[in-house]
Amino acid sequence: MHLPPSTRRSALGPGIILAAAAVGASHLVASTQAGALFGWQLWWLIVLVNVLKYPFFRFAVTYTLEHNENLMVGYLRKGRWYLQLFTGLNILAAVVNTAGVLLLTGALLQFFVPQFSITLICSLLLVLCLLILMAGQYRSLDIISKWIMALLSVATVIAVVIAWQNAAPVDPNRDMPSPWQLSAVAFLVAMMGWMPVPIELSAINSLWLQSKQKITQLAPRHALFDFHLGYWVTAILALMFLALGAMVQFGTEQPIQMAGAQFTTQFVNMYGSTIGEWSEYLVGFIAFLCMFGTTLAVLDGYSRTLRESFRLLRTRTHTAEGKPRLNSSLRGWLIAQSIAGLVVILFFRGALGPMLTFAMTAAFLTTPFFAWLNFSLVRHTLPQRWLRVYAWLGLFYLTAFALLYLVWLVWA
């Protein structure tokens, strides 16, 4: 089958879907909490984490384009235990993250339809997501993610401008809470773990890129343009959500709710009290777009990686694509992942806040390993020396901070 060559516009897809996955709990919860708790003090840390994680997500794109195979095949080539470790961590992340993002999405939708229970809303949302993904799989996700990111970006800019115009001045004599104390280490680590997304999602992006290649003949420069656009838009949006938290919630007397659903509800209500009740619907709409796009991407992405990981481990081959009779259906993995996430919501809903914090922290602690793994797949073929230096710098920072956190856990 002849595929049309790509242009910049037609190549858009995998990077935008990655952006839709990123602008979820890390932005809506972590970024806004950073602004609500500490004002503008952490803006540079958000920028730094996005900058230092960048090469390891880029390596996923370059590896897939150069070798015409996904990262999980590369992990298997390095050693079977690498893929086994990735798969084990991915199963845990898939279940916890599905439950977390689905519950947050349901809580935001409940703001508009309070007469329905959160369990019913989550169930209906899950059915809607499954119908969308099963109807068109990658094509549906590609189209919907582009619309969500376009609407989200416009709505967020409008919200920030409104908040800037209506923000009350902060008393310069007020004591500023410092994020640079031992009690804040856990929050900083959790925030960085999912900023912009857990690094294992680079493997998911690799699979999305392969799916895009089946639709369009991608030129490397166009694929990198798509990745860069999606990645750096997420970084800018992270700063905008920090700004919303800083301008709307920072300095208020009301305690900041740290659990995801309670926090988003409080944020919407406080925004309405600051600007006007009409704005609650704007902020609620923005937040819902964040989480709905993230839920779609999480369901599709993790089910793809789990299917591919188990296929590779079962068949013991290094091929990027198996024959249909050897592949279990993507729909089957989607349904299994959805059921597992819904079971967690039904039985452990009260513990989802700590579970999400645990998932975010675990993501940060495993970041150095997966960053090195991605780097090792391309290190000897990278033509740009500056990119190798860049990667070593990122590895040093991520490893040092992870070790610092482990030392803090021991001595705390």
Domain boundaries, the chain: 8-168+188-411
Mean pLDDT over the full length of the chain:
80
Residues 6+ apart with CB under 8 A from 345: 99, 102, 103, 119, 122, 352
Looking at residue 8, its pLDDT comes to 62
pTM score? 0.83
The rounded distance, in Å, linking the Cα atoms of 367 and 360 is: 11
φ, ψ for residue 5 (rounded to 5)? -65, 155
pLDDT attached to residue 393: 92
Torsion sign across C-alpha atoms 34, 40, 41, 42? positive
Q: What is the pLDDT of residues 182-237, one digit of tens each?
A: 778 878 887 887 788 788 888 888 888 887 877 777 777 888 888 888 899 888 98
- Report d(CA 61, CA 386) in Å as an integer: 18
CB 196 within 8 A of CB 15: no
pLDDT at 324: 38
pLDDT of residue 264: 63
1.10.10.10, 3.40.50.10440, 2.40.30.170, 1.20.1740.10: which CATH number matches 8-168+188-411?
Answer: 1.20.1740.10
Using 50 as the pLDDT threshold, list the residues of the chain that sit under it. Answer: 1-3, 317, 320-327
Per-residue pLDDT tens digits for 114-133: 888 888 888 999 999 888 88
The confidence score (pLDDT) of residue 1 equals 44
CB distance 77 to 376 below 8 Å: no
